[in-house]
Chains A and B, each alone.
Chain A
């Protein structure tokens, strides 16, 4: 693979020198709060159809970076181009046409699905908003297809989020992210709240969707084994800066930065217990 920084004309997302700072606005009485910089000039390039991992410990700025790429947090400096459209400084209204092309899957589907709306409303409303369906009936057809695609029965449409299991809820979260047929999906720690077998199913589903829909993805995680399994490229974030980046195998095989080595060493390796099989037989 050639260096993606040189093929940025093919990049879907091309972020340069992104600085995000919280606070610093003036209050109504004119006192300015001191601003706190969360990102100190970050470059990220995501190619079409590529899955990019963004890793780092808590507070490294990975979630803020993800939200900046989607235009959800104000960017103090730098440039973010989505399919060659500059999104930094765009007003919400100007951003709306691009919104349907970039979606997000959240860590906790319980809080990211409105508890007051049933699944039908949650999935149909975005289609009607963006005019991707002419009426409710047409939207219903599309929604049923997506629901089937993520492995949920049509009867889930009548349900409210709290009536579903954690894995089912995350499938609804994925369905909502792909129902608008976006080009880019940001997945923010989407499997950390799920048990291991559900994690594997959700990751597999995401891989299939990515292939079928030619999605570009940014996969934010603190779990490097998950990132290693799904990503083409990886960015290692520490203290609001990219400390290492490169093709996934390369970074994992020969990390340059000490911080990356620490993160990789923190992956729990399976310790093989020779008695494991025998123990399994005795218990059954």
Chain B
């Protein structure tokens, strides 16, 4: 036991935040996934500066120009143009804005609602749990895409409706996982210890249990952001997202589908962006879960 002092003393103590950052930087999934998301955020914020053209400017004389590397391409339109002569790259860049807004806001809202209900159900059990669990079961019996179409149809199209639809539908993902995790954590001796020390129920729930649910939650939020991007694209595809004068990836895919034989790139470019974004969110989520778990860190 005498040497325990020296063991602790000699290991040196970098600050807590610094150690967290180092753990994050060691995860290649966090670096690549997070790096790509960060790149998208910059693109979305700087869209007016970096987009080579006005995303809405039509030029019927230069319609369906192919992308770089194909016959008859125009160096002014790196990813080609659609049938109305609008620059695909510029539309892609502006589409990032809607995609990320929906991803961040909708996933956060769904997480807030689901986490709160999951925590309450998992910790207080009894009637609270019965009510929340039945609600989840009923909710999950609805077909999600059709339910979201219904929500948007009732609320009217627009970004707000899309975000609301995603939060209203997907809170169950969070509630289920958080409920189960809370139940498991509540059995832990550290919760009994907190009770013995005299901490109140809410303090135990939010200060003791929630931090232990957080890694799972964070991974889930990131995955949900990927899902939100897809849902927004689906709603855009069926024409229920934002109005057609705002470029969105889903809207571009819908438009590209109609002219896929004349200009496949109008379809392929947003699809590639969608794929890369969802992949990045998923990788980031998995990496975060690994990096933030204090026991897995070792």
What is A's interface to B at a CB cutoff of 8 Å?
25, 27-29, 67, 70, 72, 92-93, 96, 99-100, 102-104, 106-108, 111-118, 125-126, 129-130, 151-153, 155-156, 158-160, 162, 164-165, 167-168, 176, 180, 198, 201
**Does A112 lie within 8 Å of B8, measured CB to CB?**
no
User: B192 at the A/B interface (Cβ < 8 Å)?
Assistant: yes
Would A153 and B9 be within 8 Å (CB), given that A116-B211, A165-B4 are in contact? yes
Within 8 A of A (CB), among B252-298: 294-295, 298
**Does A153 lie within 8 Å of B8, measured CB to CB?**
yes
Instruction: List, in ascending order, chain A residues with CB within 8 A of B130's CB.
Output: 27-29
**Does B4 lie within 8 Å of A167, measured CB to CB?**
yes
**Does B294 lie within 8 Å of A104, measured CB to CB?**
no
Would A92 and B201 be within 8 Å (CB), given that A28-B126, A111-B190, A162-B295 are in contact? yes
Within 8 A of A (CB), among B153-208: 188-190, 192-201, 208
Which of B126, B127, B189, B298 lies in contact with A106, CB distance below 8 A?
B189
Nearest B residue to A201, CB-CB: B1
Nearest A residue to B195, CB-CB: A72
**Does B294 lie within 8 Å of A180, measured CB to CB?**
no
**Does B192 lie within 8 Å of A28, measured CB to CB?**
no
**Does B294 lie within 8 Å of A116, measured CB to CB?**
yes
User: B5 at the A/B interface (Cβ < 8 Å)?
Assistant: yes
**Does A108 lie within 8 Å of B16, measured CB to CB?**
no
What is B's interface to A at a CB cutoff of 8 Å?
1, 4-5, 7-9, 13, 16, 126-127, 130-131, 188-190, 192-201, 208, 211-212, 214, 294-295, 298
Which of B5, B8, B9, B197 lies in contact with A126, CB distance below 8 A?
B197
What is the CA–CA distance of A117 and B208 in the complex, to the nearest angstrom?
8
Q: How far is the CB of A188 from chain B (nearest CB, A)?
A: 9
What is the CA–CA distance of A258 and B95 in the complex, to the nearest angstrom?
81
Q: Which 9 A-B pairs have the closest CB atoms?
A: A99-B198, A112-B189, A116-B211, A28-B130, A153-B5, A114-B190, A126-B197, A111-B189, A104-B196
Residue from B4, B126, B192, B193 having most chain A Cβ neighbours under 10 A: B193
Residue from B130, B197, B212, B298 having most chain A Cβ neighbours under 10 A: B197
Which of B1, B193, B195, B200 lies in contact with A167, CB distance below 8 A?
B1
Q: How far is the CB of B205 from chain A (nearest CB, A)?
A: 13
**Does A108 lie within 8 Å of B8, measured CB to CB?**
no
Instruction: List, in ascending order, chain B residues with CB within 8 A of A103's CB.
Output: 196-197
A-B contact pairs, 13 of them (CB 8 A): A99-B198, A111-B189, A112-B190, A114-B190, A115-B190, A115-B295, A152-B5, A153-B8, A155-B9, A158-B13, A162-B294, A162-B295, A176-B197
**Does A113 lie within 8 Å of B197, measured CB to CB?**
no
Instruction: List, in ascending order, chain B residues with CB within 8 A of A116's CB.
Output: 211-212, 214, 294
Instruction: List, in ascending order, chain B residues with CB within 8 A of A125's CB.
Output: 197, 199
**Does A99 lie within 8 Å of B193, measured CB to CB?**
no
What is the CA–CA distance of A25 and B127 in the complex, to the nearest angstrom?
12
Would A153 and B196 be within 8 Å (CB), given that A111-B190, A118-B16 are in contact? no
**Does B4 lie within 8 Å of A70, measured CB to CB?**
no
Extra A-B contacts (9), CB below 8 Å, given A125-B197, A164-B8 = A28-B126, A103-B196, A151-B1, A153-B5, A162-B294, A162-B298, A165-B7, A168-B4, A168-B8
**Does A108 lie within 8 Å of B189, measured CB to CB?**
yes
